[in-house]
Structure 1
């Protein structure tokens, strides 16, 4: 099935006078993250990170963060500037921190120049940022340019003794670390590490007490804390990218967007992934695929996860699969070169393709990332797609967003 979505672009400056002269294109504000904040500050608010801004041929690049209401009820507005100002350079992917009422997001930042990337927590209410992970092990090297992240709260059986809602539960953050910062020239030098997916154990903030005052105080002070160093849980990628976890916490999905990458050579059918750098281009010999893994909770200290039984799940027909999300019914959704595709969880069979911009014979547009918003008893959920210069929303009957707080068992 193919659906054509109607774009709900943000308001643009101009007017009658602006028609007399050529206007510059609007900035690409709707690129990555695409985190539904689940009611904070509004019922449909989605956080996007922009594509690269500034001089794209030098490290002097930046990104912005934007809140948007895909229903058109409110104009998009920038998030408060990160505090401190140099926190989380080149922010990219993101995910809600469970139990924070949508006010705290864990974001990947890709680093800049010689500064490596990492994970940081962003308080959407205040703009305050706190670093969570920034080095490979104790005194280790730098991450390349972390791209996407998911948080998996450990089930009750895997929680350490004494961990509870009052003291703070444990979770694992999985994040991809491709070398795109070197491909796109905002990182300098050479990567310290390979094309891996990493895991770091987190202690989540305690659940707030009852009442609005307690919730407000929690939004001001709640931060996840890393417990132990990050460790590699998956490799063998050209450019690891999107991540998603099935609602039953049994399957992890990871996309490889090596089809769009820089550097490297192909020799005797083998891909040399040690090299990274411009020019960024497409390679028909590199993967545009989603892999599935068994997600196993390990009783180590600190508790963590193991990714096992790697298998091919799906290959994009157009472009490469970027952002990944599971809906409440376990279907995997993937942002690709001609829109967003939905796949059956057990087989990887294509179920649906949403092609924004494809109405009237127009060419469908690519989607780097997207959010699933709402759904359930009130009707179908919204699929909110980042299309660089606009956020496109389409309502789909039967679509329901998965609630990460349901994992806080």
Structure 2
């Protein structure tokens, strides 16, 4: 069967059935969930719970992005816990990708309230179609409730959400070789503990580290005290300076730069309540900002700031989580129906449908994405290359 399905303009404009406006949960979107009955998409799945036609084309630009033979396969799975959830830190030199699990209770009999997150790594084969191998790792010291991450200084930089009111969120650097030594780089804003850093990216123009800091630690009972608003920060590791670069978000989440570093994309995942539910009338939105040298600075080394906040895209299926860009400037985000892709104008050009949805993912080799599907890791092959920079 052809893995590609083309969605006609007519079906984009008119639903084949009348939406149930009073439904709970809301049934207002043709792809609000993978099981929507009014969707124009072909959502049939195989016995292994993969969509039979996973590549949904909304615009011809997506056909060029997919290339002549796109494919999708499960390369790792574990039904015992949600081992593949966030981060996705690709280390080209070792062909390994580090990632984090969802929250789980490691020993409910001894401590039924203590949550944990497992960091793992998966090694990519040298040839297409080869076998992946993955294993759990144990940083030293531990990185409490790790979440998003990025490659940095030949290692991995993780967002740590912290645990308990005495252990704040932090940015933690980890060596990618055993024994995986870790070191806290940042854990407060001028004495006020961070909330729970969620995702992080590096701006190669000046080596600064940019990260989001939402309130999920409160929502998910990791701690009871919130010390700061939900904001986006820029950290200069050379000077130790930390400054706020954006606010006004309910739950800032994914963050990424365009390949030319002139635009910064940040998602607000308020439409996902952090506990598995959806909220229909709040932002599930990716915002775009201009990345510019501060026009007000009187210093010779002017800092980069964010200007001109604007809506880039609103996701039809709850909230866009992790964000990545490719070398052509297309923007990808993990959503509840898989990975959605917009061109640089914010037009939805296609979807990679994956039942159960995707929180985060990463580009590895040119033309390869690893998507974290909770109990599975899915390899996607297409004709796009991630705008990955070796920091």
Shared fold, TM over 0.5: yes
Q: What is the aligned-residue RMSD (CA, Å)?
A: 2.2
Q: Which piece of structure 1 moves more, 60-69 or 292-301?
A: 292-301
Does the Cα contact within 8 Å between 2:89 and 2:150 map onto a contact in 1? yes
After superposition, the C-alpha distances for 1:55-106 in whole angstroms (9 at most, x for unaligned) are 7997611111111135552321122x11123xx21110000115x2xxx011
Q: Distance in 2 between matches of 1:235 and 1:287?
A: 14
Aligned equivalent of 2:267:
255
**Contact 1:177/1:195 (CA < 8 Å) preserved in 2?**
yes
1:114-125 matched pairs, under 5 angstroms? 114=165, 115-125=167-177
| Aligned-partner SS, 1:27 | coil
Tell me the equivalent position of 2:230: 195
Q: Distance in 1 between matches of 2:141 and 2:213?
A: 24
* Residues 374 and 121 (structure 1), Cα distance of their counterparts in 2 relative to 1, 3 Å cut: same
> C-alpha separation between the residues in 1 aligned to 2:141 and 2:176?
14
1: CA distance, partners of 2:105 / 2:203:
35
59 and 296 in structure 1: CA distance in 2 versus 1, 3 angstrom threshold: farther
* Cα shift at 1:282: 2.1
Question: In the alignment, is residue 78 of structure 1 matched against residue 136 of structure 2?
Answer: yes
Moved segments of 4+, more than 4 Å: 55-59, 299-303
Other structure's SS at 1:181 match: helix
From 373, 382, 386, the counterpart of 2:372? 386
Mapped pair 1:34 → 2:88: yes
Aligned residues: 313
| Aligned twin of 1:8 | 74
Please, what TM-score do these two structures have when normalized by structure 2?
0.75
Identify the residue that residue 282 of structure 1 maps to in structure 2. 278
Cα distance between partner residues in 2 of 1:382 and 1:370:
11
Distance 1:390 1:231, change over 3 A: same
* CA positional deviation for 1:234: 0.5
Note if contact 1:70-1:392 (Cα within 8 Å) is conserved in structure 2.
no
Q: TM-score, normalised by structure 1?
A: 0.72
Pick aligned residue for 1:294 from 290, 297, 302? 290
Distance 1:84 1:73 in 2: 31
Match of 2:197 among 139, 146, 159: 146
Which residue does 1:354 correspond to in 2?
Answer: 352
1:285 shift after superposition? 1.8
What is the match of residue 216 of structure 2? 180
1:9, distance to aligned residue in structure 2 (A): 4.2
Unaligned runs of 5+ in 2: 6-52, 55-70
1:49 to 91, 100, 104: 100
Secondary structure of the 2:228 match is coil
Within a 5 Å distance, the mapping from 1:7-406 to structure 2 comes to: 7-10=73-76, 25-40=79-94, 42=95, 45-54=96-105, 60-69=114-123, 72-79=130-137, 81-85=138-142, 88-98=143-153, 100=154, 104-114=155-165, 115-126=167-178, 127-137=180-190, 140-154=191-205, 170-187=206-223, 189-203=224-238, 227-261=239-273, 281-298=277-294, 304-345=303-344, 347-356=345-354, 364-375=355-366, 381-397=367-383, 399-405=384-390
Q: Distance in 2 between matches of 1:149 and 1:67?
A: 18
TM-aligned CA distance change 1:389 to 1:280, over 3 Å: closer
